Structure 1
Amino acid sequence: MSAPPNAPRLVRGGIVLVDPDTAAVLRIIALQYNPATLTRTLAIHGAGKDTPDRSEVLRIKGPPTETIKLEADIDAVDQLELGAGPATTSGIFPQLAALEILVYPTSAQLLANNALQQAGKLEILPMEAPLPLFVWSKNRVIPVRITDFSITEEAFDVNLNPIQAKVSLGLRVLTVDDAGFDHRAGSLFMSYLAQKEQFAAGGPQATLDTLGIRGI
């Protein structure tokens, strides 16, 4: 059944991988179904310890550490009902693999580092991955690092290919404290922060009377 002509276009959340140097888009991963909820936690970076001295009680050292947690469902039911597509031979392995390689170095990187080790290279830098951007509408394009990743495979076809799964992702927002102002992640974070400030400024403003008091 086709969607009504006036139905709004469904925007999906997802992850975009970009080259941190050139900003070239390397890969786009759209979630099959938008999660029903996002859990966001902000850990504040106050100056000093839990009990700072009086001169620092209101000081903030930098942006808070923001973490995002979500659960995404993936299934091959529609494809299997039609009897077409890769789901008939491999289930949801392709969708899972597209997400899993976000936390793997590439095979080419592993082989290159192994070649350096075999050649007697004493110092080998850790392999650099593309920069992930968590996209949740045009108002949230956030540089992140994937910190937690788990998959629960819930159903299988007769060949034991997974056909239904739940993916849990934990993301940590990268700030200028993590990457600096000149890094692509830092500039994207500053845009994210500026947008927060614009939303805050454009929201409804309360008065003291709203709180039932006349003055402070």
Structure 2
Amino acid sequence: MTGLSSSPRLIKGALIGVDLFNPLASIVVFQYNPDTMTRRLEPRGGGGGGDKGEAFRLAGPPKETITVSVEIDAADQLDQNNPLAIATGITPTLAALEMLVYPKTALVIANAALGAAGIIEILPTDAPMTLFVWGPTRVLPVRVGGITITEEAYDTLLNPIRAKVELTLNVLSYNDLSLGSAGNALFMVHQVTKEVLAVTNIFASIQNVGAGLKL
């Protein structure tokens, strides 16, 4: 046995579209975890209205935007003669990502029928609740703000077999989600976890101060 056999198994990041009517259509486990992830936090509220008493007031959790680049490659599957990869390349994975921002055709057809019947008010279709999963401490409800797909290689049928996907994800908080929703509860768990981790940082800070005094 090699030393690698005792290595911890790497947890894969994922995007999961929670859709009760089509539960498997939008589950994308990242083939390779991205090396980097950019997170931008923009505070809500504050003293923009001229009232000095409002300078430190927060109207809710910050608006957080996550940008991450994901690589998708069919090389391993093609080497293993995987029939799906041979027939379609990485098109199924790209389709699963894209379905996070497409309305379901059944609802589109139903709305078209209602419009043809003379019903004026037709509500927009809801996207599935999308979860960004990045380890056990970060399971976040998000809205997909943008998907940029760069296809880099093709097979003989012009199916893409290698691509980079740039994802822009807007984190949804309890400011955005209804009180009893699963997404609201998940964000609250995320914030409580963050608060606990922030408190544990005090021990590291005390150790750093002590080390500085010894010097």
Instruction: State TM-score, norm by structure 2.
Output: 0.88
| CA distance, structure 1, for counterparts of residue 69 and residue 128 of structure 2 | 22
- Equivalent residue number for residue 141 of structure 1: 139
Is the Cα contact below 8 Å between 2:47 and 2:53 reproduced in 1? no
In the TM superposition, residue 25 of structure 1 has moved relative to its aligned partner by 9.2
| CA distance, structure 2, for counterparts of residue 132 and residue 11 of structure 1 | 19
- Equivalent residue number for residue 172 of structure 2: 174
Is the Cα contact below 8 Å between 1:16 and 1:25 reproduced in 2? no
Instruction: State TM-score, norm by structure 1.
Output: 0.87
- Equivalent residue number for residue 30 of structure 2: 31
The runs of at least 4 aligned residues of structure 1 exceeding 6 Å deviation read none
Is the Cα contact below 8 Å between 2:37 and 2:68 reproduced in 1? yes
In the TM superposition, residue 198 of structure 1 has moved relative to its aligned partner by 0.9
RMSD: 2.4
In structure 1, what residue type is equivalent to 2:76?
D
Larger proportion of strand: 1
CA deviation map 1:28-57 (0-9, x unaligned):
3201111111100000113231x7432122
- Equivalent residue number for residue 88 of structure 1: 86
What SS class does the counterpart of residue 108 from structure 1 fall into? helix
In structure 2, what residue type is equivalent to 1:86?
L
What are the ranges of 5 or more consecutive residues in structure 2 without an aligned counterpart?
none
Q: How does 1:13-32 map to 2 (within 5 A)?
A: 13-19=13-19, 26-27=23-24, 28-32=27-31
CA deviation map 1:111-131 (0-9, x unaligned):
111111111111101101210
**Structure 1 residues 115 and 122, CA gap change in structure 2 (3 angstroms):** same
Give the fraction of aligned pairs with identical amino acids, expressed as a percent. 44
What SS class does the counterpart of residue 156 from structure 2 fall into? coil
2:44 is the alignment partner of 1:45: yes
Is the Cα contact below 8 Å between 2:154 and 2:162 reproduced in 1? yes
What are the ranges of 5 or more consecutive residues in structure 1 without an aligned counterpart?
none
**Structure 1 residues 86 and 67, CA gap change in structure 2 (3 angstroms):** same
Is the Cα contact below 8 Å between 1:151 and 1:168 reproduced in 2? yes
Counterpart of 2:55 (choices 35, 57, 60) is 57
What SS class does the counterpart of residue 46 from structure 1 fall into? coil
The alignment covers a number of residue pairs equal to 207
| CA distance, structure 2, for counterparts of residue 55 and residue 82 of structure 1 | 65
